[in-house]
Amino acid sequence: MKAEAFAPAKINLTLHVTGRRNDGYHLLDSLVVFADVGDRLHLETGPELGITLSGLFAEGVPEDARNLVWQAADGAGWCGQIALNKQLPHGAGIGGGSSDAGAVLSVLAKNGFDIPADLPLSLGADVPVCMGARAARMQGIGEKITPVVLPELHALLVNPGAHVPTGAVFSGLQSRDNAPMPADIPDFASAQDCAAWLAEQRNDLEAPARRVAPEIDRVLGDLSASNQAMLARMSGSGATCFALYPTKKAAHMAAYEIGTEQPDWWIRAVSLT
């Protein structure tokens, strides 16, 4: 088997922490979308399981069983070489490793492999939703996935280079029993309507992440101040933040403006699905 896979950046438009189970897992209610930027993988069946790395963010990524890609392939009973081109920053709240693992499981399923039902969630809360890589509401500990239909959304992703440990962010939560999103997500007539509804929702991890990485304050401030920005918020546990814009042109103009001021930041204008 030879196969190619695309692992898109995962963006949490909302992330409500609604409780905590006795086993320590947090309960979430999150509206998740995927960007048209991401990592790329090439899989080729062989006698040994191995990973080779390339790309902008290859440095520091493990090439052994610590890598979720390795764990996904091994758990599915597949053996061979995986070439992973890392274009997404890691520890950035956009599901880099989870999206890579989800992409591997998805392509293996399409090639006839029987994926154990409990494998995706065992790799991480984001892996099940990343297997589908389409707009969805993610609830529970990541096991409940409900597809949603959203209008075309244009966004700017910005990461200041800060690595934010997920554990430290969850530890900093002041409340773990917060309100979920409304029971029904509306049928939005436009991106503007969607952004207005999203502004009434939250990312409960944003406040503790900002305490861990104050750079997030500057990113959110710059995004909020950019021309035609409709909403600025942090994704996941950070430090990547996003802003929504009414047009693709507006997102690209904001990328140029912020990039001129902050050339060392990771900045990508994207479409979200």
Which are the catalytic amino acids? 10, 126
Residue carrying structure tokens 């917060």: 178
Q: Are 252 and 157 in contact (CB under 8 A)?
A: no
Output the six-digit token pair for 65: 């069983």
Measure Cα distances from 192 to 183, 221, 229, 247 in Å: 21, 20, 10, 10
Among 111, 99, 126, which residue's Cα sits nearest to residue 45? 111
- What DSSP line would sit under 201-255, residue for residue? S-BTTHHHHHHH-THHHHHHHHHHHSTT--EEEE-TTSS-EEEEESSHHHHHHHH
**C-beta pairs of 224-231 under 8 Å, 24+ apart in sequence:** 226/156, 226/254, 226/257, 226/258, 227/253, 227/254, 227/257, 228/253, 228/254, 229/254, 230/191, 230/192, 230/195, 230/196, 231/195, 231/198, 231/199
Q: Is the peptide bond before 239 cis (omega within 30 degrees of 0)?
A: yes
Distance CA 218, CA 204 (A): 18
